[in-house]
Structure 1
Amino acid sequence: MPNHDYISRTPAKKKKNSRAKKKTANQAPAFSTKNKAISVLVVLLLAAFAYGLWALKHNPETKNPIVTTPAVKASTSKTLEKSKSLPKPPKEKWTYVKDLENKEVEVGKYEVQQGGPYKMQCGSFKTQKQAEVLKARIAFAGLEAVIQPSTGKNGTWYKVALGPYAKKRDAEKDKHKLKRNNVNYCQIWLWK
């Protein structure tokens, strides 16, 4: 069965009888006496309202606004002088205001000491294959890493490191670049 759209369809028009058409065509619409009385009353009220506004506008009594003067107390010249002058400031409880006026700032000479070359270590692995995988991930980030074998009590470990960096700030930039490429846990050390 097909779907019908009943909402957007316009309703069907009803057929009228020929007798009904003749009756309505011969009769003119007539206003009832009640409707006539209401319309006359509305016109009279609007006219009265307009006349009232016009009368208020042209009435001389409504031209000048009513001004009330506030009650003024008789005051002497001494009270006026007292109100014009400012009160004396309170006595200071603290001495820091005077101390700051006479304070001198000592300026020292400071030298920034370079900490030395830095290196960034990103991993230490037991097998060289794991170190090569991390070195490849770092290369995809656009940086060059070095694998350094280190022999100790626990055997040989392969460290993946970047550097040397003259400033620690340069090492931090590369560390953030590696973090954006999902190479985490890099540490910055002084080069030994």
Structure 2
Amino acid sequence: MVNKKSNVKPKKNRPRTGQKNSISKLRIASTIIVTLTFASGLYLISGIKVNNISNKQSSTDQTIPEQEKSLNRKQQAFTFYERLKGNAVNIKQPESSSNDTNVKKETVYSIQAGSFKTEQQAEQRLVELTLLGFEPTISASINASGNRWHRVMIGPFTSRREMAAARSQLMTNKFEAMVREESR
């Protein structure tokens, strides 16, 4: 058998030009219909809102007499400031003598060098601090739970500089120090 090649070309699957034109016309027509439907829907919705608002206004306009309308127009000027004047609250300033304003409150510093449950521990810390050159005191206090604590205090110091020097000396000797500040 001999294969003969034919001069006939195979057909490609292309739509005919007549079909192509009808598809594009169909797309254009459907796009126009959808656009017109959307635009008419928007127009109807906007018309409904305007009609509802105007109906509400006309019904309220009918209930208000003409005299009240004219009064409301006159009263539309701001009356805020007049209303505030009637609600003013006067606060009396306490009389202070000129001596009180010139006197500055003095700040006094003290250092807590420890807080112990037993008095023996507090006295031991007192001896250690006395050897360093301080003049500590012990003050006993009872906390909220009813326990008694013994605080070892150094001071009072009238200047921040004196307090800082004492605190620095305590820190270099490995003692914890908590500064307490009081105004007198």
Normalised TM-score (structure 1): 0.38
Normalised TM-score (structure 2): 0.40
